[in-house]
Amino acid sequence: MAMSPGVTCRQCGGQMARTTRTQRNYGLQVLAAPLCLLGLAVAVTGAGMTVAATRRYAAGAQSAITHMAFDISLGVAGLFLAIGVARLGHKKQDIWRCPACGYFFERA
Ligand SMILES: [Zn+2]
């Protein structure tokens, strides 16, 4: 009782195997690189501003505490931007691949 009959290769008739491949989009990657750096710069700026606000607050400036929330949000947003953008241009794809001839197509 063969539950999974498998998929035969259209090119050579061999047995195809389930696998994944990473699809790269170089255009997006080129675009993502400066955006990733921008995100990191924003994160560092946010962290620096948070430290500065902490110092002002420690020095007795009560208003600095309200700025701190914004500074932390800025830092976190920058970090998320950097991480999100770094994943641009990489797409994981489920495919059937023939180990014999290399022919593949996308799995539904
Ligand atoms: Zn094949």
Residue 2 has pLDDT above 50, yes or no: no
* DSSP-assigned states of every residue in 61-90: -TTHHHHHHHHHHHHHHHHHHHHHHHTTTE
- Distance in Å, CA 91 to ligand 1 centroid: 24
pLDDT at position 50 is: 95
Residue 81 has pLDDT above 90, yes or no: yes
Bin 104: left if φ > 0, else alpha if -120 < ψ < 50, else beta: beta
Q: Are strands 15-24 and 90-97 parallel, antiparallel or unpaired?
A: antiparallel
d(CA 42, CA 28) in angstroms, rounded, equals 21
Task: Report which DSSP code applies to 108.
Answer: -
pTM over 0.75: no
- Distance in Å, CA 8 to ligand 1 centroid: 8
Residue 8 has pLDDT above 90, yes or no: yes
- Distance in Å, CA 96 to ligand 1 centroid: 10
- Distance in Å, CA 90 to ligand 1 centroid: 26
